[in-house]
Structure 1
Amino acid sequence: PFLPQEAAPPGEQRPEAEAVSGKAKSEYRNYTQGQLLDRVYSTYLLMHTHQTVDFVRRKHAEYGPCSLRQMSAMQALELLDELVDESDPDVDFPNSFHAYQTAEGIRQAHPDRDWLHLVGLLHDLGKVLVLFGEPQWAVVGDTFPVGCKVQPSVVFSDSTFHNNPDTKNPLYSTECGMYQPRCGLENVLMSWGHDEYMYQVMKFNKFSLPKEAFYMIRFHSFYPWHTHGDYMHLCNEEDLRMLPWVKELNKFDLYTKQEELPDVQHLKGYYQSLIDKYCPGQLCW
């Protein structure tokens, strides 16, 4: 089976040092300076204050049944024309364009794997939660496990968790917290957001995609793990087997972001054919 090339460890330059946009890769995900930094910090401050074990459990109960509305995958994608992700320091344009940029990057690198192209298109579709009325801090941004000690690589970890009640709960303040070592990420409660929601939608609607596709979408925002190597003590063998796939998606998710926007009308027919193949018709959200 195809195994994607391992991403470089943090700080190590891959040969392709320039991203598609012409920016050096080190210029992406800059959380210390930049014109969008105030907006980004405010989003994470709210997220890290309110994402608790109780909050996440409530959201699972609310959205797990996928009973809010029915629409096709393409209709959901078009809703993202209205969304600019307030946690992203690299992008200030609607999220729908980012979906096509990611998908096209993957299509160019892996022309024979159409299911992987679709993963690129679908990976952020869970952000429709913002259009359903959820605040951005409960939808966008990097994810992290709730119910255990916050690791240093979580964005703004040293300045945004002071008002989170879980940090004062001794049950949640150890390395493993409420979990067992090597319990597997499928048994870990992640901060609520678009990753977990889209995974639930895919599962509920029985998308005919490989297991890897479900996993990549579920954990693509878990940067502290897939990019920085934190939380490995919670991972089992299956997580480690899946890690290269998540890293492969991340390359295109991150480094295809550029101001030059794709011609969506030109691309839509191809991606509609993939939707028809793997997740057709009206879906439950």
Structure 2
Amino acid sequence: MTILIEQPALELQVEGNNVHAEETNELVLEGGFPLPKDGYMAPEINSFGHSFREYDAESERQKGVEEFYRLQHINQTYDFVKRMREEYGKLDKAEMGIWECCELLNELVDESDPDLDEPQIQHLLQSAETIRKDYPNEDWLHLTALIHDLGKILALPSFGELPQWAVVGDTFPLGCAFDESNVHHKYFKDNPDYKCPAYSTKNGIYTEGCGLDNIVMSWGHDDYMYMHYTRKVHILTS
């Protein structure tokens, strides 16, 4: 995939006339997504009345999130990740602009998120607006927040329609013992790597202090976008 940086003018339609965003109290992006001019106000609790990232708190999301992690912990193996890196490392799925890619995520709700059951485009906009409010002069950081989860398009048909356990959720090292700090650690016992002697010690196949560049992490949107931004020339890295 190749993502193109574009800077479209932000306008909205009012009774047939074009009104520029600076003349209103809101920014309205393409697709009709309104944002307050003074920035997004981050809430102190999630959509279900709990503190953020409480994976065991009872809510309408809790059972689905736990089932997601059960599947993820069973299926994310060292060999699986090596296959995914080879397949998606080709970066040959599509070419599109940033906003076009964002709009695709209007079709996706992250099954691993205990805090939000809204389309991912809302998460992208909330993240970017919150950082824009806190760091108004760091435009590169605003863009980084906007694009940080674009790799979740891997769950869409045009990118292979991977199951969500292969796209979203927390990441963890493979090729070594699964640390007990992982969310819902108990489900790793059904992972084929769990009983592999080479992968069952603290360091596993790695040497102490080898560095993250040499670690195989669970496969998902983060690894995909890391490959994308380190193997192609981008405005963020040039």
Tell me the TM-score normalised to structure 2 length: 0.77
Per the alignment, residue 23 of structure 2 pairs with none
- Displacement of 1:206: 1.4
Name the SS of the counterpart of 1:160 in structure 2: helix
Which of residues 111, 115, 122 is equivalent to 1:90? Answer: 115
| Structure with greater strand percent | 2
What is aligned with 1:117?
142
Q: Which residue of 2 aligns with 1:166?
A: 193
Count of residue pairs the alignment pairs up: 192
For residues 89 and 68 of structure 1, the distance between their equivalents in structure 2, rounded to whole angstroms, comes to 30
Which letter does structure 1 place at the counterpart of 2:189? H
Give the aligned partner of residue 100 of structure 1. 125
- Residue 154 of structure 2 corresponds to 129
Match of residue 75, structure 1, among 80, 95, 100: 100
Measure how far apart 1:205 and its partner are.
2.7
8 Å contact kept, 1:66–1:204: no
Written as runs of structure 1 = structure 2, the 5 A alignment for 1:1-285 is 20-23=42-45, 27-33=51-57, 34-131=59-156, 132=159, 133-157=161-185, 159-210=186-237
Alpha carbons 2:68, 2:165 under 8 Å: kept: yes
Q: Quick one: percent identity of the two aligned structures?
A: 47
Counterparts of 2:61 and 2:189, CA distance in 1: 23
Q: Which has the higher contact order (CA 8 A, sep 6+)?
A: 1
Kept in 2, the 8 Å contact 1:106–1:116? The answer is yes
Q: Deviations over 1:74-127 (max 9, x none)?
A: 211110000000000000100001001001111111111111111100110000
Task: Give the secondary-structure state (helix, strand or coil) at the position aligned to 2:217.
Answer: coil
1:18-54: CA deviations, max 9, x gaps? x821428971111112220111011111110010000
User: What is the one-letter code of the residue matched to 1:31?
Assistant: Y
Structure 1 residue 142: Cα displacement: 0.3
How well do the aligned residues superpose, as a CA RMSD in angstroms? 1.7
Cα deviation digits, residues 139-184 of structure 1 (max 9, x gap) = 0000000111111110000x21121010101111111111111111
**Cα distance in 1 for residues equivalent to 2:132 and 2:179:** 34
d(CA) in 1 for partners of 2:97, 2:56: 39
Gap regions ≥5 residues in structure 1: 1-18, 211-277, 279-285
Larger radius of gyration: 2
Q: Matched residues in 2 for 1:67 and 1:166: separation?
A: 30
The 8 Å contact of residues 44 and 51 in structure 2, kept in 1 or not, is answered as no
Deviation of 1:208 (Å): 2.6
